[in-house]
Amino acid sequence: MRKKIKKINAAILIIGNEILSGRTQDKNVAFISKWLNSNCGISIKEVRIIPDEEKIIIKNILTLSKKFNYVFTSGGIGPTHDDITAKSISKAFKVKYEYHEEAYAILERYYGKKKFNDGRKKMAKMPRGSKLIYNPSSAAPGFIIKNVLSLPGVPSILNSMIENCKRYLVKGLKIHSKTINLFTVESNISKQLSLIQKKYKKFVDIGSYPFFRLGKIGVAIVTRSTSLKKLKNVNTDLMKVIKIKKIEVLNL
């Protein structure tokens, strides 16, 4: 079993012209982020959306793989001409772009030899030395090379594959969170939040997010920490402020 390390981070690289054009709405960032936080104790620290352009993909892969423990890519590993993620990652790490023997066998078995055309064969090509991320939905696997995990862009397929990433990840400590929904405006509590955040800055992250609900303006105060004790202390301090200011709490 891998030893848990306190702080493990990651970046998400969304690859696809269709996302940048607005034709397709990204759903993968929220899903990957939530899954990593709740299942692996891994925090997403950066998200980038880039086009299907080789030079841009290579540049971002090299930058992010050096900066973070893991990089998750989404998109560009399908059968069409603009699916160039695997080839670009091969060039980034200066390894051969070739058929992965096991991936080829999986796809050939799934489609049958007669229907296993060139486009489908392309989905078996990836950087030399890659390990597979198995796909229970449509057979075509993703892959991991170094600290880069490459997944498809279709949300339903990515969702079905995400558990198969876990075997390759070193887990961090679980990140606990608590949300308090208040009927007030941010400016009414901003000073107090700043003081509390300063007090616990090494242990707890505090975020405030405005909302409009039941005809009223409100703000959600979200606290996150790997320490349940520190999280409890922060929320005790928050409730003192709420009581002093006589702010209404929305119970959900």
For residue range 35-91, list pLDDT tens digits in order: 999 899 999 999 999 999 999 999 999 999 999 999 999 999 999 999 999 999 999
H helices of 17-169, in order, are: 17-20, 28-40, 54-67, 85-92, 101-111, 118-122, 155-161
Q: Which domains does the chain show, CATH number per domain?
A: 8-168 (3.40.980.10), 176-250 (3.30.70.600)
Torsion of CA 183, 196, 192, 181, to 10 degrees: 0
Q: Tell me the pLDDT band of 202, cut-offs 50, 70 and 90.
A: confident
Which pLDDT does position 5 carry in this prediction?
Answer: 54
User: Which two tokens mark 147?
Assistant: 């600290």
Mean pLDDT over 169-189 rounds to: 92
Which pLDDT does position 165 carry in this prediction?
Answer: 98
In percent, the amount of the chain with pLDDT more than 70 equals: 97
Whole-angstrom Cα distance, residue 69 to residue 78? Answer: 26
Which pLDDT does position 25 carry in this prediction?
Answer: 94
Rounded CA Rg of the chain: 22
2 pLDDT more than 90? no
In percent, the amount of the chain with pLDDT more than 90 equals: 89
**Average pLDDT across the chain, whole number:** 94
Express each pLDDT in 135-148 by its tens digit. Answer: 999 999 999 999 99
Which pLDDT does position 1 carry in this prediction?
Answer: 40
Which pLDDT does position 183 carry in this prediction?
Answer: 94
Mean pLDDT over 156-165 rounds to: 98
